[in-house]
A = this chain, B = another copy of it.
Amino acid sequence: MTNLKTDRRSQRTQRFIHEALMALMQEKRYDDITVQDIIDRADVGRSTFYAHYQDKEDLMTSGLLRLMQILSEMVTKPSAMGETSLLPTQELFEHVQEHQNLFRGMVRGRGLELFFEKGQEYWNQKLTADLQALLPKGQVPAVPLPVLAQFIAGAFVTMLRWWLDNKMPYSPQEMDEMLQRLIMPAVRECLREG
Protein backbone atom coordinates (compact mmCIF):
# COMPACT_ATOMS: atom_id res chain seq x y z
CA MET A 1 0.00 0.00 0.00
CA THR A 2 1.58 3.22 -1.13
CA ASN A 3 1.13 6.41 0.79
CA LEU A 4 -1.29 8.67 -1.05
CA LYS A 5 -0.56 11.88 0.73
CA THR A 6 3.19 11.79 0.55
CA ASP A 7 3.37 11.02 -3.13
CA ARG A 8 5.85 13.38 -4.66
CA ARG A 9 3.52 14.18 -7.52
CA SER A 10 0.67 15.17 -5.26
CA GLN A 11 2.73 17.45 -3.12
CA ARG A 12 4.34 19.00 -6.13
CA THR A 13 0.96 19.67 -7.71
CA GLN A 14 -0.49 21.14 -4.55
CA ARG A 15 2.49 23.38 -4.18
CA PHE A 16 2.18 24.58 -7.76
CA ILE A 17 -1.49 25.33 -7.31
CA HIS A 18 -0.99 27.20 -4.08
CA GLU A 19 1.86 29.21 -5.50
CA ALA A 20 -0.22 30.02 -8.54
CA LEU A 21 -3.04 31.37 -6.41
CA MET A 22 -0.65 33.42 -4.32
CA ALA A 23 0.98 34.86 -7.42
CA LEU A 24 -2.35 35.71 -8.99
CA MET A 25 -3.48 37.34 -5.78
CA GLN A 26 -0.72 39.88 -6.18
CA GLU A 27 -2.11 40.83 -9.57
CA LYS A 28 -5.86 40.86 -9.23
CA ARG A 29 -8.70 40.46 -6.81
CA TYR A 30 -9.63 37.04 -5.51
CA ASP A 31 -13.07 37.21 -7.09
CA ASP A 32 -11.62 37.97 -10.49
CA ILE A 33 -9.41 34.91 -10.45
CA THR A 34 -10.89 31.89 -12.22
CA VAL A 35 -9.99 28.28 -11.84
CA GLN A 36 -8.77 28.50 -15.40
CA ASP A 37 -6.32 31.22 -14.39
CA ILE A 38 -5.02 29.09 -11.59
CA ILE A 39 -4.46 25.92 -13.57
CA ASP A 40 -2.93 27.87 -16.43
CA ARG A 41 -0.48 29.52 -14.07
CA ALA A 42 0.20 26.30 -12.21
CA ASP A 43 0.49 24.46 -15.52
CA VAL A 44 -1.79 21.76 -14.26
CA GLY A 45 -4.67 19.89 -15.84
CA ARG A 46 -8.22 20.85 -15.07
CA SER A 47 -9.18 17.48 -13.66
CA THR A 48 -6.07 17.53 -11.53
CA PHE A 49 -7.21 20.68 -9.78
CA TYR A 50 -10.58 19.19 -8.94
CA ALA A 51 -8.89 16.02 -7.74
CA HIS A 52 -7.24 18.04 -5.00
CA TYR A 53 -9.75 20.74 -4.17
CA GLN A 54 -13.50 20.98 -4.30
CA ASP A 55 -13.37 24.49 -5.71
CA LYS A 56 -11.53 27.77 -5.53
CA GLU A 57 -12.87 28.52 -2.07
CA ASP A 58 -11.61 25.19 -0.81
CA LEU A 59 -8.14 25.99 -2.07
CA MET A 60 -8.19 29.34 -0.35
CA THR A 61 -9.49 27.89 2.89
CA SER A 62 -6.86 25.18 2.95
CA GLY A 63 -4.15 27.77 2.54
CA LEU A 64 -5.63 29.90 5.26
CA LEU A 65 -5.95 27.00 7.66
CA ARG A 66 -2.33 26.09 7.10
CA LEU A 67 -1.48 29.69 7.89
CA MET A 68 -3.51 29.81 11.04
CA GLN A 69 -1.99 26.60 12.24
CA ILE A 70 1.42 28.20 12.02
CA LEU A 71 0.18 31.24 13.89
CA SER A 72 -1.45 29.07 16.53
CA GLU A 73 1.78 27.25 17.14
CA MET A 74 3.55 30.55 17.59
CA VAL A 75 0.96 31.71 20.06
CA THR A 76 0.94 28.56 22.14
CA LYS A 77 4.71 28.27 22.18
CA PRO A 78 5.46 29.08 25.82
CA SER A 79 8.72 30.91 25.23
CA ALA A 80 6.98 33.46 23.08
CA MET A 81 4.64 34.72 25.75
CA GLY A 82 6.10 37.63 27.58
CA GLU A 83 4.67 39.31 30.63
CA THR A 84 3.89 42.57 28.95
CA SER A 85 1.61 41.42 26.19
CA LEU A 86 -1.23 39.03 25.64
CA LEU A 87 -0.04 37.89 22.25
CA PRO A 88 3.51 37.46 20.95
CA THR A 89 2.75 40.19 18.47
CA GLN A 90 6.34 41.04 17.70
CA GLU A 91 7.03 37.49 16.64
CA LEU A 92 3.82 37.53 14.66
CA PHE A 93 4.84 40.70 12.83
CA GLU A 94 8.27 39.22 12.16
CA HIS A 95 6.78 36.05 10.81
CA VAL A 96 4.47 38.01 8.56
CA GLN A 97 7.38 40.02 7.26
CA GLU A 98 9.26 36.87 6.36
CA HIS A 99 6.34 35.47 4.42
CA GLN A 100 4.93 38.74 3.20
CA ASN A 101 3.90 37.45 -0.20
CA LEU A 102 1.88 34.71 1.35
CA PHE A 103 0.21 37.03 3.80
CA ARG A 104 -0.33 39.83 1.35
CA GLY A 105 -2.29 37.44 -0.77
CA MET A 106 -4.19 36.03 2.15
CA VAL A 107 -5.09 39.20 3.97
CA ARG A 108 -6.28 40.76 0.78
CA GLY A 109 -8.95 39.15 -1.30
CA ARG A 110 -11.24 36.92 0.61
CA GLY A 111 -8.61 36.35 3.18
CA LEU A 112 -9.68 38.94 5.68
CA GLU A 113 -13.24 37.74 5.73
CA LEU A 114 -12.26 34.10 6.03
CA PHE A 115 -9.77 35.05 8.69
CA PHE A 116 -12.56 36.54 10.71
CA GLU A 117 -14.91 33.63 10.09
CA LYS A 118 -12.52 30.82 10.79
CA GLY A 119 -10.11 32.40 13.17
CA GLN A 120 -12.02 34.67 15.42
CA GLU A 121 -13.51 31.85 17.46
CA TYR A 122 -10.07 30.56 18.23
CA TRP A 123 -8.52 33.89 19.07
CA ASN A 124 -11.53 35.01 21.01
CA GLN A 125 -11.55 31.90 23.17
CA LYS A 126 -7.87 32.06 23.83
CA LEU A 127 -7.86 35.76 24.56
CA THR A 128 -10.95 35.55 26.74
CA ALA A 129 -9.31 32.83 28.82
CA ASP A 130 -6.07 34.78 29.13
CA LEU A 131 -7.93 37.90 30.13
CA GLN A 132 -9.93 35.97 32.70
CA ALA A 133 -6.68 34.84 34.26
CA LEU A 134 -5.43 38.40 34.45
CA LEU A 135 -8.62 39.65 36.09
CA PRO A 136 -8.44 39.84 39.88
CA LYS A 137 -10.86 37.48 41.59
CA GLY A 138 -14.36 38.77 42.13
CA GLN A 139 -13.73 41.73 39.86
CA VAL A 140 -16.27 42.64 37.23
CA PRO A 141 -14.54 44.00 34.13
CA ALA A 142 -15.58 47.40 32.86
CA VAL A 143 -16.05 45.88 29.43
CA PRO A 144 -17.23 42.27 28.95
CA LEU A 145 -14.27 40.04 28.19
CA PRO A 146 -15.60 38.74 24.86
CA VAL A 147 -15.91 42.33 23.69
CA LEU A 148 -12.42 43.11 24.87
CA ALA A 149 -11.10 39.99 23.16
CA GLN A 150 -12.78 40.96 19.92
CA PHE A 151 -11.30 44.42 20.23
CA ILE A 152 -7.78 43.11 20.67
CA ALA A 153 -7.98 40.57 17.87
CA GLY A 154 -9.53 43.19 15.61
CA ALA A 155 -6.85 45.73 16.44
CA PHE A 156 -4.13 43.26 15.53
CA VAL A 157 -5.72 42.42 12.21
CA THR A 158 -6.32 46.10 11.49
CA MET A 159 -2.72 46.99 12.12
CA LEU A 160 -1.52 44.02 10.11
CA ARG A 161 -3.67 45.01 7.20
CA TRP A 162 -2.50 48.59 7.29
CA TRP A 163 1.11 47.46 7.50
CA LEU A 164 0.83 45.21 4.46
CA ASP A 165 -1.20 47.67 2.42
CA ASN A 166 1.29 50.46 3.09
CA LYS A 167 4.39 48.53 2.11
CA MET A 168 5.47 47.94 5.68
CA PRO A 169 7.05 51.31 6.48
CA TYR A 170 7.93 50.24 10.02
CA SER A 171 9.87 47.35 11.45
CA PRO A 172 8.13 44.51 13.26
CA GLN A 173 9.56 45.87 16.50
CA GLU A 174 8.05 49.29 15.86
CA MET A 175 4.72 47.82 14.86
CA ASP A 176 4.65 45.72 17.98
CA GLU A 177 5.50 48.67 20.14
CA MET A 178 2.75 50.77 18.62
CA LEU A 179 0.20 48.00 18.90
CA GLN A 180 1.02 47.46 22.56
CA ARG A 181 0.80 51.16 23.20
CA LEU A 182 -2.63 51.26 21.63
CA ILE A 183 -4.06 48.15 23.23
CA MET A 184 -2.62 47.87 26.69
CA PRO A 185 -3.99 51.10 28.19
CA ALA A 186 -7.48 49.89 27.33
CA VAL A 187 -6.82 46.47 28.79
CA ARG A 188 -5.48 47.91 32.00
CA GLU A 189 -8.32 50.34 32.31
CA CYS A 190 -10.95 47.69 31.64
CA LEU A 191 -9.59 45.13 34.05
CA ARG A 192 -8.96 47.56 36.86
CA GLU A 193 -12.26 49.06 37.83
CA GLY A 194 -15.61 47.29 37.75
Please give the residue numbers on chain A whose beta carbons come within 8 Å of chain B beta carbons, in ascending order: 31, 112-113, 116, 142-144, 147-148, 150-151, 154-155, 157-159, 161-162, 178, 181-183, 185-186, 188-190
In the complex, 30 of the A-B residue pairs with CB atoms within 8 angstroms, ordered by the A residue number, are A112-B112, A112-B113, A112-B116, A142-B181, A143-B178, A143-B182, A144-B178, A147-B159, A147-B162, A147-B178, A150-B158, A150-B159, A151-B155, A151-B158, A151-B159, A151-B182, A154-B154, A154-B157, A154-B158, A154-B159, A154-B161, A154-B162, A155-B155, A158-B158, A181-B186, A181-B190, A185-B185, A185-B186, A185-B189, A186-B186
Q: Chain B residues near A148: list those with CB within 8 A.
A: 182
Main secondary structure of the interface of A (DSSP, over half): helix
Q: Chain B residues near A190: list those with CB within 8 A.
A: 181-182
Q: Complex formed: what's the CA distance from A175 to B69 in Å? A: 32
Q: Chain B residues near A159: list those with CB within 8 A.
A: 147, 150-151, 154
Task: With both chains docked as a complex, state the minimum distance between the C-beta of A61 and any C-beta of chain B, in angstroms.
Answer: 13
Q: Chain B residues near A116: list those with CB within 8 A.
A: 112, 161
Q: Chain B residues near A182: list those with CB within 8 A.
A: 143, 148, 151, 186, 190
* 12 more A-B residue pairs beyond the given contacts A113-B113, A143-B181, A185-B186, with a C-beta to C-beta distance below 8 A: A112-B116, A116-B161, A143-B182, A147-B162, A151-B158, A155-B155, A155-B158, A158-B158, A181-B186, A181-B190, A185-B185, A185-B189
Q: Complex formed: what's the CA distance from A155 to B147 in Å? A: 11
